[in-house]
Structure 1
Amino acid sequence: MKKYILLTLSIVLSASFWNCEKDDICAEGTPTTPNLVIEFYDTTTGEVKNVTNLGVIATGQESGFSYSNVSKIIFPLKTFQDTTVIQFVQNGTDEDTTNDNSDEITFNYMRLETYVSRACGFKTTFELDSTEGAVLTTDTDNWIQNITIAQPSIIDENETHIKIYF
């Protein structure tokens, strides 16, 4: 009788170790929620153009990101809303939304959550709206002249999603 109890206990114990998963650590390089990739172009030539002293701030935030002498930036979209409004401050800072050279772009998108793993959780990908994906709030002195959507599906950061002409 003791043999059967010992055998049963051994089988149950072995089965419990068989069902264990590896550590709950999200491995580096695992795909996560991608950022929006924005590239800047010269309005007259259509060539890639560096922008200097650029502050980028999401509406409702006290600070954002500063960039200097770059032609391409990445910026996170909100994963809990279908709209993100971003201020682009030319010759400003990442905390200055009162600057006269501040233009506002509204990004409208659909969100899709994808399960990655138990350790990593979910990631969110985005699909820009086909007609109103990037809307520039126009005023009398916009420094941004035009916006085009180069890639509406934001699934990684390997390609440009938005082109801004100034």
Structure 2
Amino acid sequence: MKKYIITSLVIVLAVSFWNCEKDDICAQETPTTPRLIIEFYDAANPTELKNVTNLGIAEPTFETGYAFNAVSSITIPLRTNQDTTTLNFVLNGSDEDATNDLTDVVTFNYSRIETYISRACGYKTTFILNDTDGLVIPTSNWISSYEIVQTNINNEDETHVKIYF
């Protein structure tokens, strides 16, 4: 009888450990939703990177956003719940003087693909910029032109958009 009880306990323990999963911790190196990489170039010399000074980027309905200073490359997030992200790119927008601000409204149009990573990490969204209207700038106050270099935004290892000013 004692032999049956011990065997039953061993079987119950084995089955309970069999159903266990590893800890639900999302590892640091797990790929997440990529941000858009933008590089700035000199409009007069299109092959030369150009630092942008006091660049403020915010959604039109927000008062706060991202501030960049003396950089030629930036990363910005796109909305994961819509197929469009509209942002104000404000040259001199991250300084205290609002009288010298030059604003261009930039709209990114894309499709989204959600990929399940794991229970701990959730979903990863990748983006595909539209071929015809992936980027729309209705008026140019400081941005001269742009070029979509990579329509698939699935990592942060390469430039997706070049902006010339």
TM-score by length of 2: 0.91
Shift in Å, 1:10: 2.1
Residue matched to 1:13: 13
Partners in 2 of 1:21 and 1:157 — Cα distance?
A: 31
**SS of 2:137 mapped into structure 1:** strand
Alignment of 1:1-166 (within 5 A): 3-46=3-46, 47-93=48-94, 100-138=101-139, 142-166=141-165
| RMSD, aligned CA | 2.1
Aligned equivalents of 1:21 and 1:148: distance in 2? 46
Bigger mean CA deviation after superposition, 102-111 or 54-63: 54-63
- 8 Å contact kept, 1:57–1:95: no
Looking at structure 1, the residues matched to 82 and 96 of structure 2 have their Cα atoms a distance apart, in angstroms, of 23
Separation of aligned partners in 2, 1:20 and 1:147: 52
Read off the aligned partner of 2:57 and give its amino acid letter: V
Within 2, Cα distance between the matches of 1:96 and 1:11? 73
Q: Judging changes above 3 Å, is the alpha-carbon distance between structure 1 residues 106 and 60 closer, same or farther for their aligned structure 2 residues?
A: same
Deviations 1:92-148, CA, capped at 9 Å, x for gaps: 128999965000110000111111112111110000001100011215xx1001011
5+ residue gaps in structure 2? Answer: none
Of 68-77 and 109-118, the range deviating more from structure 2? 109-118
User: TM-score normalised to the size of structure 1?
Assistant: 0.90
Deviations 1:44-76 (A, max 9, x none): 111111000100112322211100000000000
Report how many residues are paired.
164
Is the contact between residue 92 and residue 101 of structure 2 (CA under 8 Å) also seen in structure 1? no
8 A Cα contact 2:59 2:65, kept in partner:
yes
CA distance in 2, matches of 1:95, 1:55: 11
Q: Which amino acid aligns with 2:142?
A: W
What is the letter of the counterpart of residue 123 of structure 1? K
Worse-superposed segment, 156-165 or 15-24:
15-24
> In structure 1, what is the Cα distance between the partners aligned to 2:136 and 2:64?
22
